[in-house]
Homo-oligomer: A and B are copies of this chain.
């Protein structure tokens, strides 16, 4: 009985390494095939939404999608079983994503349209970063994250400003332009204002009156200057992160006390006063 138990444990161990690990050959293989299947399933959902294709290959698409869903379900169950702390996985980001990406197909019994939502599987593609050279990429990622995180508050403040401005300008354009040229309501005008400030400019709504065009021109030139602000913020943060990083690279450690010395011209430890040797 116990032998069997231990056997089971060993098996579970093995599966765990294959599924979660990516440094063994089997693990890498598993991860890559999984990634392939995810990509495939996302493509399937996308193609299914194309009328003429769906008309032709409906049954094929449905069947293959069901096969994939079942595979994912099994994988999900395996992940839970072979994990010593299943809850850690279930309530981790990927755990939730994995769960949500199976759900829609089963929901589609009750809610017809919901099958489309299985596109959420695309999020599983983020696993790629887990598979590729971790250190290197996370290095890149972390730097991205750092800079983005550092500039988050500023960006929010900025967006908040932009929104208030959009509301005001939207209302003004609504009053100026009136209905006939597409500014049918203030919300629509605000939508137009955002479309313009972000320099997207669909052209589905465009000012027709002279005054409207003058105001629009001002808004564009504003948006022109405004687009510089978030870029400026993020760039400054990036440059900052970079500088700090390169600082760390050129840093030494004091031989006596272990404090780090950033200043490459330093001749004495700033902490214990120990004489340093520059070599």
Q: Which residues of A contact B (CB under 8 A)?
A: 42, 45-47, 49-51, 113, 116-117, 119-120, 122-123, 125-126, 128-129, 136-137, 140-141, 143-144, 147-148, 153-155, 157-160, 162, 164, 167-168, 170-171, 174-175, 184-188, 190-191, 194-204, 206, 210, 213-214, 216-217, 220-221, 223-225, 227-242, 246, 253, 257-273, 275, 278
Contact = CB atoms under 8 A, between A and B. Distances in A.
A254 B188 CA distance: 60
Given A122-B168, A259-B265, A223 B200 contact: yes
Contact of A273 (B187, B196, B238, B267): B267
Contacts of A264: 260
* Chain A contact residues: helix, strand, loop or mixed: helix
Contacts of A227: 224, 227, 231
A170 B235 CA distance: 28
Contacts of A51: 184-185
B236 A160 contact: no
Contacts of A196: 200
A225 B155 CA distance: 8
Contact of A228 (B220, B231, B242, B259): B231
Copy total for this chain? 4
A175 B120 CA distance: 13
Contacts of A224: 197-198, 227, 230
A186 B116 contact: yes
Contact of A186 (B46, B206, B262): B46
B232 A238 contact: yes
A159 B221 contact: yes
A241 to B, nearest CB: 8
Identify which of A49, A137, A162, A216 gathers the most chain B CB atoms within 10 Å of its CB.
Answer: A49
A237 B232 contact: yes
**Which 10 A-B pairs give the minimum distances between C-beta atoms?**
A266-B270, A200-B201, A202-B203, A268-B273, A119-B171, A258-B278, A236-B238, A232-B234, A49-B186, A232-B235
